[in-house]
Structure 1
Amino acid sequence: MSPAYTAAALPYGALADQIEALLRDPTVVVPPRLVQPLAGGGSLFVMPATDARVAITKLITFVPDNGARGLPAIQGDIVVFDAQDGRRLTVLDGPTVTARRTAAVSLLAARHLAPRTDGPLLIVGAGVQGLAHLEAFHEGLGVREVLVASRSPASADTLVRHAKALGLQARRVDDADAALADCPLVVSATSAQAVALRGLPRSDAFVAAVGAFTPRMVEWAPEVCRQLAHTGTLVVDTRDADHEAGDLLQAGLDVGPLPSLGDVVRGAAGARSGPVFFKSCGWAGWDLAAARCVVDAARHP
């Protein structure tokens, strides 16, 4: 499928619903992903997953400095098979699925965890993930106001124009830390090559931290993460975050005891207090959920 067809097959609300259903499905099996360093400084990710009906393998490359080459940071495909007879069913555009399923995971987490969902929404990082989260939170939560911060004022202005085209109130902010005081919804979606946020979120904030998905990557200052561990609630997307959640690991926190999104969905997480910090690292199960959406739509048009 082309990027446009892949996007059209994955509306954010339906994808979030499918992710929640997947987290309740005992037939889902997701082996650890393989991350192979590349000679140019990037990484090759090999991510298989299966359930009783569908099997997938995601093959993507991540090259963080590809913007300087005029290329996307993430490239690749997701191959979808029938788990019963082994037939290849389709090939999905990898970057499109990655953007939309990551935003849908954040949307699902916000549905369950956000003390307030009315916004305003602060987006830090105006790239592909910033755009996907803007659309997902507008479509899925009804957010009507967004503030955008980026190292690139031009990128921030582009995302602001897109938000206004969707009918939102939107403006660029140059100080993300100061903007935290005005926003109960926060998405950090930077390249995570250096700390981008040093301020504390509001006491009623929900933060989706999606930029850092390896131990060496970081968006939030370690002292902020340690403070949130004492005064707020930390939740991770999956147990893979135990060794991948750069923001939390670089803060010296023990990630293993933290509840996962699956625990939250299944009602196995404890009580929450203070700001909620949801750390998303990625998982092939989210790509499997996207494949399930596409396959179900094809079988039941």
Structure 2
Amino acid sequence: MLHLDDDAVATALDWPGLVSALRAGFRNGAESPPRPHYSVKVPGERDATLLLMPAWTTGGHIGLKTVTVFPDNGRRALPAVSSHYLLMSARDGRIVASLEAGELTSRRTAAASALASSYLSRPDACSLLIVGAGRMAPNLALAHASVRPIESVQIWARDMAKADQLARQLEGMGLKAAAVSALETAVSNADIISCATLSEEPLVLGEWLRPGCHLDLVGAFTPSMREADDAALRRASVFVDTHAGATTEAGEIVQALASGALAVGDIRGDLFDLASGRVEGRHSKDEITLFKSVGCSLEDLVAAELCFERSVGAPT
């Protein structure tokens, strides 16, 4: 059985290839049932979360990702999220590969945002703001830069030292980057705003969004979390990765539905709709667009299959 660590996964998943594979995956579809998630008590800390994410294609592969989220792991200098992936044959059930899923998850999530951006952001979008400086942040910057002509990246984080460190990292990867301390100013000047935090209070306010911008919300993955307020959803054309996941798990969507700021019918489409052409993306240069993702097991399966095929040299 093949085993791929995070370094091998990163090597296999270049941004253009992964975005292209996800585009085909959402166009073709797969069995991707809603993920069960369980709350796990942690003494003296916030509750942890256990997620199970299966997906499969007929005659192709079955994939299963296990994810644990321990939001207070920073106290132990450990990552908040840990995950692993099993890839199995959908013809005979044998396990063909196991993958460390940290880089797999980060890259497929960032590539899904880039895929959405290819439909929703302005083709000439050149300024990017990253909100948050965790593991997702560099991948989001690189993924967005693979589909749009990004000339400058700004990073805002509660910890300015981490924002500075990320800016230096991105500079080393060929992107012009700088840390910023004034979030409102940075949001109001950005063509694309990409958020990846564990915030439970809105960070980006709708009144800050300038005409023509695209807001990419990645971090809030439970109903109690959110990175943007109701005003942002009212002002924007709203798209999601999947309707089922967003309307039950995405904090911004769930809370806006509860407050009446958003109706289910206001959600213009998901990645299945966009990739298949059933729904048009951006309509005009001044339209504000918003993409909310909570993750989809189809994305993991597509990424794991691409890793496996590139590692063994041919699909099985």
TM-score normalised by L of structure 1: 0.93
Instruction: Answer yes or no: is the 8 Å Cα contact 1:116–1:185 preserved in 2.
Output: no
Q: Is 2:290 aligned against 1:277?
A: yes
Cα shift at 1:178: 1.2
Pick one of 157, 172, 176 that aligns with 2:164: 157
Pick one of 202, 210, 220 that aligns with 2:210: 202
2:300 is aligned to 287
1:83 is aligned to 90
- Farther off after superposition, 197-206 or 97-106: 197-206
Q: Is 2:15 aligned against 1:12?
A: yes
Q: Mind listing any 5+ residue stretches in structure 2 that lack a counterpart?
A: none
Q: Is 2:258 aligned against 1:249?
A: no
Pick one of 211, 219, 226 that aligns with 1:211: 219
How many residues were matched structurally? 296
Instruction: Answer yes or no: is the 8 Å Cα contact 2:238–2:266 preserved in 1.
Output: no
Instruction: Answer yes or no: is the 8 Å Cα contact 2:128–2:154 preserved in 1.
Output: yes
**RMSD, matched Cα:** 1.6
Q: Is 2:54 aligned against 1:48?
A: yes
Pick one of 106, 111, 121 that aligns with 1:104: 111
Change over 3 Å in CA distance of 1:298–1:155 after alignment to 2: same
1:127 is aligned to 134
1:260 is aligned to 270
Cα shift at 1:121: 0.4
Deviations 1:197-223 (A, max 9, x none): 224322111111101111111111223
Instruction: Answer yes or no: is the 8 Å Cα contact 2:12–2:307 preserved in 1.
Output: yes
Structure 1 Cα separation of the partners of residues 101 and 313 of structure 2: 23
Change over 3 Å in CA distance of 1:51–1:139 after alignment to 2: same
Cα shift at 1:76: 1.9
2:240 is aligned to 236
1:296 is aligned to 309
Instruction: Answer yes or no: is the 8 Å Cα contact 1:202–1:275 preserved in 2.
Output: yes
Identity across matched positions, percent: 32
Structure 2 Cα separation of the partners of residues 147 and 17 of structure 1: 26
2:36 is aligned to 34
Instruction: Answer yes or no: is the 8 Å Cα contact 1:43–1:62 preserved in 2.
Output: yes
Structure 2 Cα separation of the partners of residues 225 and 51 of structure 1: 34
Q: Mind listing any 5+ residue stretches in structure 1 that lack a counterpart?
A: none
Cα shift at 1:256: 5.4
Instruction: Answer yes or no: is the 8 Å Cα contact 1:18–1:292 preserved in 2.
Output: no
Structure 2 Cα separation of the partners of residues 89 and 202 of structure 1: 48
SS of the residue 1:250 aligns to: helix
SS of the residue 2:208 aligns to: coil
Cα shift at 1:171: 1.2
Q: 1:241 corresponds to which letter in structure 2?
A: A
Cα shift at 1:283: 0.8
SS of the residue 1:46 aligns to: strand
Instruction: Answer yes or no: is the 8 Å Cα contact 1:110–1:117 preserved in 2.
Output: no
Cα shift at 1:117: 4.3
Instruction: Answer yes or no: is the 8 Å Cα contact 2:65–2:85 preserved in 1.
Output: yes
SS of the residue 1:24 aligns to: helix
Cα shift at 1:279: 0.6
1:177 is aligned to 184
Q: 1:223 corresponds to which letter in structure 2?
A: A
SS of the residue 1:79 aligns to: strand
Q: 1:119 corresponds to which letter in structure 2?
A: C
Cα shift at 1:105: 0.2
Q: 2:83 corresponds to which letter in structure 1?
A: G
1:23 is aligned to 26
Structure 2 Cα separation of the partners of residues 270 and 157 of structure 1: 38
Q: 1:220 corresponds to which letter in structure 2?
A: A
TM-score normalised by L of structure 2: 0.89
Structure 2 Cα separation of the partners of residues 21 and 224 of structure 1: 30
Instruction: Answer yes or no: is the 8 Å Cα contact 2:73–2:80 preserved in 1.
Output: yes
